Chains A and B, each alone.
Chain A
Amino acid sequence: QLQLQESGPGPVKPSETLSLTCTVSGGSMSSFGYYWGWIRQSPGKGLEWIGNIYYSGNTYYNPSLKSRVTISVDTSKNQFSLNLSSMTAADTAVYYCARSSGTSPKRGFDIWGQGTMVTVSS
């Protein structure tokens, strides 16, 4: 059974870069046709899609964050990562990683990690 688990550094200071990793277990990230995505949830803005990386390595970002976001994949470790630069208090949220199918039938995000709280504070 496929499982996803986020890990990260905990508190982040303003202007720093957030780095989170999602480890995939119980299956291969290289499986044909899946997107691996990041979503965040804050009280003020609800659920917000940050971006996806396709199994082929192509990336897709939310334009509202595109200038600050990088998503990458390390298939040898079965992990994908999120870097979000120039963090501010507005980036305080629970960050989730999740899987979505890119081939028919497309299902939205069918498997989620448990989420990790990221607080931006000096």
Chain B
Amino acid sequence: EIVLTQSPATLSLSPGERATLSCRASQSVISNYLAWYQQKPGQAPRLLIYGASSRATGIPDRFSGSGSGTDFTLTVSRLEPEDFAVYYCQQYGSSPWTFGQGTEVEI
């Protein structure tokens, strides 16, 4: 099973700042099948990034993903008030599909 470790656990930033979130895999993610999700309280996760770097439909271009192999990064270039949430990475290249424990981006 691939274990995904996200860091930091909490990121305290202000609107307009840049957020950089890390996701490290215990072994290489096949075909870079790595997704990022955003979750707000009481809501289901929303797909932001798939294939490590492709934005999902309707996702603003301030969200970007990068990385390959075992090290992946989600960057939010300029935080908007609605971006304060919890972010999860997920690998879907190997069974069982696994999620990271999440990074909370707080004001």
Contact = CB atoms under 8 A, between A and B. Distances in A.
Interface string A73-105: 000000000000000000000001010100001
A5 B31 CA distance: 31
Given A47-B99, A49-B96, A112 B45 contact: yes
B95 interface: yes
Interface SS of chain B: loop
Contact of B45 (A47, A48, A60, A64): A47
A106 B45 contact: no
A46 B51 CA distance: 22
Interface residues of A, number: 21
Contact of A105 (B46, B51, B90, B95): B51
Contact of B51 (A63, A100, A106): A106
A60 B95 contact: yes
A105 B44 contact: no
Given A105-B51, A108-B47, A49 B35 contact: no
A62 interface: yes
Nearest to A106: B33
Contacts of B50: 105-108, 110
A67 interface: no
Given A46-B99, A47-B88, A107 B56 contact: yes
Q: Which 6 A-B pairs have the closest CB atoms?
A: A108-B35, A112-B44, A47-B99, A107-B50, A49-B97, A62-B96
15 contacts: A46-B100, A46-B102, A47-B90, A48-B99, A49-B98, A100-B92, A105-B51, A106-B50, A107-B54, A108-B33, A108-B37, A109-B35, A110-B47, A110-B50, A114-B43
